[in-house]
Structure 1
Amino acid sequence: MFGKKIKFQNSSRLIFGLILLLLLNLGCQRDDICAESTVITPLLKISFFDNESVGDTIPKPVTNLSVIAEGDTVNFINRINTSEISIPLKTDVDFTTYEFILNARATGDTTSVENSDIVDFTYARNQEYINRACSFRVTYINLEARVEPETPVSNKWIKRIVVDQSTIIDETTTHISIFH
């Protein structure tokens, strides 16, 4: 069995296969996988507060809050009761518009009275290269937010917006406070 000569044709395939295997093994490096601990593009963190509280420090959950991005038909956030949310900002343009719906209707509900306000977020973007696996990360600077005017004015449920952090580099602190 070992005494047989290996034909040149079979040995060339074997050598080619070993070289290919070696190249594939050397081609993968540690930075081909984006680690979970890598900081990526942060979300915009929004906290909701009671507009009538003294000192503006009492969190006030929004009842049945739904959030829809402009031009989208699917709710990004659907009917939750919370005093904090995190939503993405667009990374390809310097503005994002969301519709915030108070008392959003459940599917099939025709009796609930929902109230929606449109909020425009404007900002500048900074792109930084992380590595080959994670690509780019976008951070935001000069964040501004405003509620679009509504007629009648008394229909607005968002009373005011305060930008707490105009630079968004992480998701640990509140960037926007909405008072209702």
Structure 2
Amino acid sequence: MKYFKILIIPILLIVILSIGCERDDICPASTPTTPRLIIDFLDSVNPDNKKNVFDIVVAGVGNDFILDGYNFVSASTLMLPLKTDDNTTQYVIFKEAEVNDNGTLDDNTDDFVDGNSDVITINYSREQVFVSRACGYKTIFKNVTLTIEPDSDNWMLSRQPLTDNQSVEDETTTHFTITH
């Protein structure tokens, strides 16, 4: 009986603590979070066909970062993150990009990306959507517009949203097409 009294207290504490606990507040990797804008590149001669852009580099305008995954690659689809703290995001997209060493082979601090570049401006309104206690909120984007900024050598010829009043709520479908 003495051992029973000694064991009953820890057992009761474990039971009480187990009842009061919730499942771990860890956001599963499979939970959809803030979606990225999906752009498909189409052939200007045959707009029903996707067409790769070769040696593509994508960089944010106003900062010096090159977007992960788009660093001298060939792609027919881009997945671009949009700013969640602003209603506008701009990217410069280089076609047939190369590194210009600025005439100094041994000094890469002055190197820069060179190639045919076009700037796209994406405007939208933001809405916060509660996902779960573990995952918090995600941002969805409404009334999304995409503009190809005109320059003297545009390689992007036209753009088309897939739906009127385009929104970006998931990453399962294309949101815009661009012909080149």
**TM beyond 0.5:** yes
**1:50 and 2:48 equivalent?**
no
**1:35 and 2:35 equivalent?**
no
2:161 to 163, 169, 173: 163
For 1:50, the aligned partner's letter is: D
* CA apart distance, 1:30: 2.2
* CA apart distance, 1:37: 2.1
1:88 to 78, 81, 86: 81
Query: Which residue of structure 2 aligns with residue 127 of structure 1?
Result: 128
Cα shift readout 1:92-144 (whole Å, capped 9, x = no counterpart): 1111000010011147498x961000000001111111122211011111110
* CA apart distance, 1:28: 5.6
* CA apart distance, 1:45: 0.8
* CA apart distance, 1:73: 1.4
2:50 to 43, 59, 62: 59
**1:70 and 2:66 equivalent?**
no
Match of 1:32, SS?
A: coil
TM-score (structure 2 length as normaliser):
0.77
Partner Cα separation in structure 1 for residue 60 and residue 19 of structure 2: 44
For 1:156, the aligned partner's letter is: N
- Structure 2 residue runs of 5 or longer lacking an equivalent are 3-8, 104-112
Query: Which is greater in Rg?
Result: 1
Query: Which residue of structure 2 aligns with residue 102 of structure 1?
Result: 95
For 1:133, the aligned partner's letter is: A
Checking the alignment, whether the CA contact within 8 Å between 1:31 and 1:132 is kept in structure 2 is no
Query: Which residue of structure 2 aligns with residue 144 of structure 1?
Result: 145
Partner Cα separation in structure 1 for residue 102 and residue 158 of structure 2: 29
> What is the aligned residue count?
161
Query: Which residue of structure 2 aligns with residue 179 of structure 1?
Result: 179
* CA apart distance, 1:27: 7.3
Identity percentage of aligned residues = 34
Cα shift readout 1:39-82 (whole Å, capped 9, x = no counterpart): 111111110011122xx211110010110011221210211111
Quick check: which one's strand share is greater? 2
The Cα RMSD (Å) is: 2.8
Checking the alignment, whether the CA contact within 8 Å between 1:44 and 1:88 is kept in structure 2 is yes
> Cα gap change, 1:121/1:29 in structure 2, threshold over 3 Å: closer, same or farther?
same
Partner Cα separation in structure 2 for residue 66 and residue 116 of structure 1: 9
- Structure 1 residue runs of 5 or longer lacking an equivalent are 3-14
Partner Cα separation in structure 2 for residue 133 and residue 70 of structure 1: 33
For 2:176, the aligned partner's letter is: I
Checking the alignment, whether the CA contact within 8 Å between 1:65 and 1:78 is kept in structure 2 is yes
